[in-house]
């Protein structure tokens, strides 16, 4: 993989952000972004443990979803306070996916302000994501194709970003928003997956309070280097062609895949993995 750094700023005007990043579909890291919030000192594990400790939360790990089960089925459930204690006390790959603040912890909404960057945020869905020090999220792009601001708290985190032009080199699985399960983006095997060598992207390291602008449909791989959590603020597509593509992803592609997975189970999953490998091999041959 050919990885570059993204632009890094400590502050940015709405005009500069819109002109040089949002409209150009270009990622940006804003250091210490959340530190300007009046209630920044509440964005930590202790506050969440105190306010939501008794809630039962679904947990996921690093393993690909079981082909014989729903792709979004959790591996286990645990009280929030026990989960936080677990990931703080020992290495763990357990993570919480898509914790909707407005439903589960609305009090937290008082502790930040939406940034004035010219983005029309979907205020129904500010979401939290948690992970232990060994947790990662498979390379994927979001099915709603929305732009979003990703704000990180507590421990360090590594993120890889790629635009859609790199899909063929990333071994994109057809009718899905993820890549082949076997690809290890921390230690890529270029003999097994030679197309990866040609993938051009960005490498970002995030710390407590940093914010990362991730343009819509960008591939992202998240690796928690230490226990931490992040909040995503989403802006849904507003261009007609992107909105139409979002509808296709959400209502046609997604449900077609769910139906095929339900009928054929592991056979369908394995077929798509092989199909993805063939497509990337052909892309590499054309590139060469």
237-253 pLDDT, tens digit each: 878 888 898 888 888 99
pLDDT at 66: 65
pLDDT at 152: 97
Q: How far apart are CA 224 and CA 36, in angstroms?
A: 24
pLDDT at 60: 94
Residue 143 sits in a domain of what CATH number?
Answer: 2.60.120.650
Q: Which residues contact 105 (CB under 8 A, 6 or more apart)?
A: 48, 51, 52, 99, 128
Nearest to 215 by CA among 237, 245, 243, 244: 237
Check if the beta carbon of residue 200 is closer than 8 Å to that of residue 160. no
Average pLDDT over residues 33-39: 92
Parent domain of 199? 2-287
Q: Which residues contact 162 (CB under 8 A, 6 or more apart)?
A: 170, 199, 200, 201, 202, 218, 219, 220
137-184 pLDDT, tens digit each: 999 999 888 999 999 999 999 999 999 999 999 999 998 999 998 899
Nearest to 281 by CA among 125, 171, 163: 171
Residue 29 vs residues 81, 202, 213, 215: alpha-carbon distances, Å? 31, 11, 6, 12
97-134 pLDDT, tens digit each: 999 999 999 999 889 989 999 999 988 889 999 999 99
40-92 pLDDT, tens digit each: 999 999 999 999 999 999 999 988 766 566 667 899 999 999 999 999 999 99
Residue 224 vs residues 59, 67, 136, 233: alpha-carbon distances, Å? 15, 25, 6, 19
Could you give the number of structural domains in the chain? 1
Count the Cβ atoms, other than its own, within 10 Å of residue 241: 8
pLDDT at 237: 82
Residue 29 scores a pLDDT above 70: yes
Residue 19 scores a pLDDT above 90: yes
Rounded to two decimals, the pTM is 0.92
């Amino acid at each position: 993989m050919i990885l570059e750094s993204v632009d890094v700023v400590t502050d940015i005007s709405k005009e500069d952000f819109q002109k040089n990043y949002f409209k150009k579909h270009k990622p940006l890291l804003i250091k210490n972004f959340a530190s300007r919030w009046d209630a920044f000192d509440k964005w930590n594990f202790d506050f969440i443990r105190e306010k939501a400790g008794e809630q039962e939360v679904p947990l996921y790990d690093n393993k690909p979803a079981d082909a014989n089960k729903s792709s979004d089925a959790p591996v286990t459930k645990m009280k929030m306070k026990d989960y936080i204690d677990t990931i703080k006390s020992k290495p763990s790959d357990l993570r919480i996916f898509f914790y909707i603040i407005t439903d589960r912890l609305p009090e937290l909404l008082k502790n930040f302000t939406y940034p004035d960057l010219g983005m029309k945020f979907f205020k129904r869905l500010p979401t939290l994501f948690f992970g232990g020090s060994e947790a990662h999220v498979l390379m994927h792009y979001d099915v709603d194709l929305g732009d979003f601001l990703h704000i990180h708290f507590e421990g360090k985190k590594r993120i890889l970003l790629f635009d859609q032009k790199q899909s063929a080199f990333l071994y994109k699985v057809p009718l899905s928003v993820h890549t082949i399960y076997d690809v290890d983006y921390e230690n890529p095997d270029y003999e097994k997956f030679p197309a990866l060598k040609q993938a051009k992207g960005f490498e970002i390291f995030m710390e407590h309070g940093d914010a990362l602008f991730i343009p819509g449909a960008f591939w992202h791989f998240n690796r928690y280097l230490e226990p931490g959590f992040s909040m995503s603020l989403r802006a849904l597509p507003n261009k007609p062609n992107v909105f139409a593509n979002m509808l296709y992803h959400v209502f046609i592609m997604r449900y077609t895949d769910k139906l095929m997975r339900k009928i054929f189970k592991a056979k369908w999953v394995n077929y798509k993995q092989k199909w993805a490998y063939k497509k990337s091999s052909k892309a590499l041959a054309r590139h060469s």
